[in-house]
């Protein structure tokens, strides 16, 4: 991928599911050569995941090369060392201690390649009393504070319907890898990037901890609103609903005029951010009575005319049909050997000079054994056949 900002860099991806592989996806999207190691015969569990049809691996495995390797055997571990010697990054999301058990900890690998950057994603991080615990994204979301405030106030904590904790940890891992890469440019030496799921979630918790430590305030579940931020909510229309965010003072003035009630912007109950927050429920009811008299499209047209942020709540069909998505190429259609019309999200963020791209969907298991073992590591066909017969590759 000549136009990827990370072209020329090689990442060895170990582990499976989401928290590690999504980091590999991000780096592959921007041009890194990602060599994904999978267990022989079975592969990454993501190959069987998805809602209805198992298509998830086609997305998270995109732009990657798949090789099979038995990491529990010494010969498999020796092959990892050979790969690490020729690579810039090694990414893993096993339970802490697993890599060390295999003789593949950073202390050992850095002796082989002092420039290697080791990216480690786990539930609780590589140190601390919980480090050895098994950790999934859902647990990290709970311990990091996100689950408690997600959902309606009269119901138990909810979730976003996506693996947010895993994806956040993977994104921070990718960010950390870029920081470590800059450090390597300066010093010539690699280091360990330690991304914990619960800490990645915690990093996005805004001022919730400070609010408690200073004032004893604990944020609670509030459904579709943020307390004291008004107006910003989902409002009913005659044929559905729309989301409007008019909470900034200047925007609220335009919104009041848009509603044909400019006096609301001067009303003491709504004139300031603090006042609107104190009267949030009353204000939302008032706006809802107005939006109910219009269709969703009429509300959206008025909001666009008056510079008030608003939008529909999209599902996949609306994304695919939206002209803005199309104009920015936010979605990409790929060839798939089993399925027609395979559409998925494109690369983000967009870089002006080195945009990256999606060159391939998730590959078949072991599709690149020959090119990696044969060409990169120089194994002859007889050696490869012997290793395959013995279940090493």
Judge whether 265 and 276 are in contact, CB under 8 Å. Answer: no
Separation between Cα atoms, residue 33 and residue 52, nearest integer Å: 31
Element (H, E) at 277: helix 273-278
Cβ within 8 Å of residue 124, ≥6 positions away: 96, 130, 131, 133, 135, 196, 197, 198
Six-digit token pair at 100? 């060390």
Cβ within 8 Å of residue 207, ≥6 positions away: none
For residue 318, count other CB atoms closer than 10 A to its CB: 11
Separation between Cα atoms, residue 54 and residue 362, nearest integer Å: 12
Check 166, 322, 340, 386 and give the catalytic one: 166
Separation between Cα atoms, residue 393 and residue 377, nearest integer Å: 13
Active site residue 166: yes
Separation between Cα atoms, residue 186 and residue 183, nearest integer Å: 5
Q: What is the DSSP string of 79-119?
A: HHHHHHHT-SEEEE-SPTTHHHHTT-SHHHHHHH-TT-EEE
Tokens 């219009």 map to which residue? 294
Residue 198: φ, ψ to 5° = -65, -35
Judge whether 252 and 276 are in contact, CB under 8 Å. Answer: yes
Separation between Cα atoms, residue 376 and residue 12, nearest integer Å: 13
Q: Would you name the residues annotated as active-site residues?
A: 166
């Amino acid at each position: 991928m000549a136009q990827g900002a990370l072209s020329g860099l090689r990442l060895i991806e170990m582990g499976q599911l989401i928290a590690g592989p999504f980091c590999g996806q991000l780096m592959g999207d921007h041009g890194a050569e990602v060599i994904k190691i999978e267990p022989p015969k079975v592969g990454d569990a993501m190959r069987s995941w998805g809602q209805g049809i198992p298509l998830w691996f086609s997305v998270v495995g995109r732009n990657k090369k798949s090789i099979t390797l038995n990491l529990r055997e010494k010969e498999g571990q020796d092959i990892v060392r050979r790969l690490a010697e020729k690579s810039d990054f090694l990414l893993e999301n096993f339970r802490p201690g697993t890599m060390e058990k295999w003789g593949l900890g950073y202390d050992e690998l850095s002796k082989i390649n002092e420039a290697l950057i080791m990216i480690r994603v786990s539930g609780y991080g590589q140190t601390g009393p919980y480090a050895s615990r098994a950790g999934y994204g859902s647990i990290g979301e709970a311990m990091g504070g996100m689950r408690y405030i997600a959902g309606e106030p009269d119901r138990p904590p909810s979730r976003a319907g996506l693996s947010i904790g895993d994806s956040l940890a993977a994104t921070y891992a990718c960010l950390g890898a870029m920081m470590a890469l800059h450090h390597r440019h300066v010093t010539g030496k690699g280091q360990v990037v330690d991304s914990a799921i619960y800490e990645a979630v915690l990093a996005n918790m805004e001022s919730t901890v400070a609010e408690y430590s200073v004032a004893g305030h604990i944020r609670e579940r509030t459904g579709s609103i943020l307390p004291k931020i008004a107006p910003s909510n989902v409002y009913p229309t005659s044929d559905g609903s729309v989301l409007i965010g008019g909470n900034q003072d200047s925007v609220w003035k335009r919104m009041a005029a848009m509603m044909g009630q400019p006096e609301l912007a001067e009303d003491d109950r709504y004139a300031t951010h603090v006042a609107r927050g104190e009267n949030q429920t009353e204000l939302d009811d008032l706006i809802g009575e107005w939006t109910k008299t219009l269709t969703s499209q009429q509300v959206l047209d008025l909001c666009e005319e008056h510079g008030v942020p608003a939008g529909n709540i999209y599902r996949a069909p609306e994304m695919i049909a939206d002209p803005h998505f199309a104009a920015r190429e936010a979605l990409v259609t790929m060839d798939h050997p089993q399925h027609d019309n395979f559409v998925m999200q494109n690369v983000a963020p967009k870089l002006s000079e080195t945009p990256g791209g999606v060159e391939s969907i998730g590959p078949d298991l072991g599709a690149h054994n020959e090119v990696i073992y044969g060409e990169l590591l120089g194994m002859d066909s007889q050696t490869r056949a012997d290793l395959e017969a013995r279940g090493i590759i």
